[in-house]
Amino acid sequence: MPVSTNPDVMDKLVSLCKRRGFIFQSSEIYGGTGSVWDYGPLGVELKKNLKDRWWHAMVRARDDIEGIDAAILMHPRVWEASGHVAGFTDPLIDCKNCKKRFRADDPKIKGTPGTPDAQCPVCGMKGTLSEPRNFNLMFKTFMGPVEESASVVYLRPETAQGIFVNFLNVQQSTRQKVPFGIAQIGKAFRNEITPGNFIFRTREFEQMEMQFFVEPGTDAEHFDYWKEQRMEWHRSLGLNPDRLRFKPHDQLAHYARAAADIEFDFGGSLGFQEIEGIHNRSDFDLGRHQEYSGKKLEYFDQPNNRRFVPFVIETSVGADRTALALLVNAYREEEVAGESEGRTVLGLHPSLAPIKAGVFPLVKKDGMPEMAQRLAADLRRRFPVFLDDSGAIGRRYRRQDEVGTPFCVTVDGQSTQDGTVTVRDRDTLQQERVASPFVADYIAERITT
């Protein structure tokens, strides 16, 4: 049953993403890897544009946030301090017969696991299901040549810890004063048992996280500020405001003083789902790292001559999830006046579109292909363009509409006479004649944020 009034476009989107080179299943020729996805030529541009928008808003356009790029592998004690070794677990049930694993709350399980009446939903055997056991969601590997317990390291399950352990390095090297933040974009890994919904929940994913270090007592106002800032950012990407909402947490982690999710309505049966979390984490993380490392992680407040462990306001957004939200939000099918065939459009914000302009010679003669090539080469120095000289002009427009290209530039018979070309707007379908030397500026002006 759909839980959302917005349509379920996921199947169409998965197909479009594969056909046009946005997203492929990982290792597809071997049958695929469970819930791992590869970004193709257009997908990598979309995701990179998205990450650039975040980096610009959070790091470059501010003087109170610094960026870092911490390693994925960290000292194993980090994950003891963070609580992930002891607490980052899901209760799971094993079938002794078919070796399949299930979440303890899997509704397909009949009976009480661990008793003879319980039935495995896969192989159908009775009495083969174990009692629920806690299973850690971190990916484990070994550092160095010996595979023994002393050399176990983890693929980080979140990027945040790389920021906490570098708090003083960054503060002292940049001479930032509290309040200030540290931001990073990077891969994280979780061995989810029930991943799914395309790139919504994957085992390998990319996070964009920022930890803002504040004086205790001022944390509530910073929390409110960041909640609003982050919602405003999602709106600025072109996500429909009606499909965005805050969801306060019903239950808080024991160390958390406040938490809210930003949810997006993915439509269909998925409905509203979290794309970002904003958390007031108190001094939990720095306090734990002080305790486990034995190193002071205090900030020295020089004017007041005192030391304190800052509180942390965290903003944590998934790059893959937000990319999916952008695709869902942008997908539309519509009639075109005066044409029998409709069109599929990705109405992506121009700053996020993988290709900024299609360049077409109207026909393959009379100097038009040469002029189109020169124009494409000129535009390509500023932004990604696609030169297309095959098929009817209408088909070429449709191919660009489908991947979200905001402008299509056509070189026609008049172009070779007076040096002007037509520039067509993806959304309004309006065409304007622009002198070819000014096309790059015309488009650049309209694709910036």
Task: Kindly list the residues in this chain that would bind Zn ion in the complex (CB under 5 A).
Answer: 95, 97-98, 120, 122-123
Phi, psi of 324 (to 5 degrees): -65, -40
Q: Tell the smallest beta-carbon distance from residue 98 to Zn ion (Å).
A: 3
Are 93 and 102 in contact by the 8 Å Cβ rule? The answer is: yes
Are 444 and 434 in contact by the 8 Å Cβ rule? The answer is: no
With respect to Zn ion, which residue has the nearer C-beta, 95 or 270? 95
Are 386 and 405 in contact by the 8 Å Cβ rule? The answer is: yes
CA pair distance 323, 238, nearest whole angstrom: 12
Q: Tell the smallest beta-carbon distance from residue 122 to Zn ion (Å).
A: 5
List, in order, residues 6 or more apart from 318 with CB less than 8 Å away: 205, 206, 207, 208, 275, 276
Q: Tell the smallest beta-carbon distance from residue 126 to Zn ion (Å).
A: 10
End-to-end CA gap in the chain = 38
Q: Which two tokens stand for residue 422?
A: 């037509």
Strand partners, 331: 346
Q: Which of 229, 223, 218, 207 shows the shortest CA–CA distance to 61?
A: 229
With respect to Zn ion, which residue has the nearer C-beta, 102 or 386? 102
With respect to Zn ion, which residue has the nearer C-beta, 124 or 216? 124
With respect to Zn ion, which residue has the nearer C-beta, 118 or 376? 118
CA pair distance 311, 188, nearest whole angstrom: 24
With respect to Zn ion, which residue has the nearer C-beta, 113 or 358? 113
With respect to Zn ion, which residue has the nearer C-beta, 120 or 188? 120
CA pair distance 200, 134, nearest whole angstrom: 24
With respect to Zn ion, which residue has the nearer C-beta, 123 or 429? 123
With respect to Zn ion, which residue has the nearer C-beta, 95 or 440? 95
Alpha-helix residue ranges (DSSP H) falling in 58-211: 76-81, 84-87, 160-164, 167-174
Q: Tell the smallest beta-carbon distance from residue 119 to Zn ion (Å).
A: 9
Q: Tell the smallest beta-carbon distance from residue 136 to Zn ion (Å).
A: 22
Q: Tell the smallest beta-carbon distance from residue 97 to Zn ion (Å).
A: 5
Q: Residue 179, preceding bond cis, omega within 30 degrees?
A: yes
With respect to Zn ion, which residue has the nearer C-beta, 99 or 296? 99
Q: Tell the smallest beta-carbon distance from residue 96 to Zn ion (Å).
A: 8
Residue type, 334: E
Are 359 and 386 in contact by the 8 Å Cβ rule? The answer is: yes
Q: Tell the smallest beta-carbon distance from residue 62 to Zn ion (Å).
A: 53
Pairing mode, strands 431-435 and 299-301:
unpaired
Q: Tell the smallest beta-carbon distance from residue 25 to Zn ion (Å).
A: 26
With respect to Zn ion, which residue has the nearer C-beta, 130 or 197? 130
Q: Tell the smallest beta-carbon distance from residue 137 to Zn ion (Å).
A: 22
| Degrees, nearest 5: CA angle 344-346-351 | 155
List, in order, residues 6 or more apart from 423 with CB less than 8 Å away: 407, 408, 409, 431, 432, 433, 434, 439, 442, 443
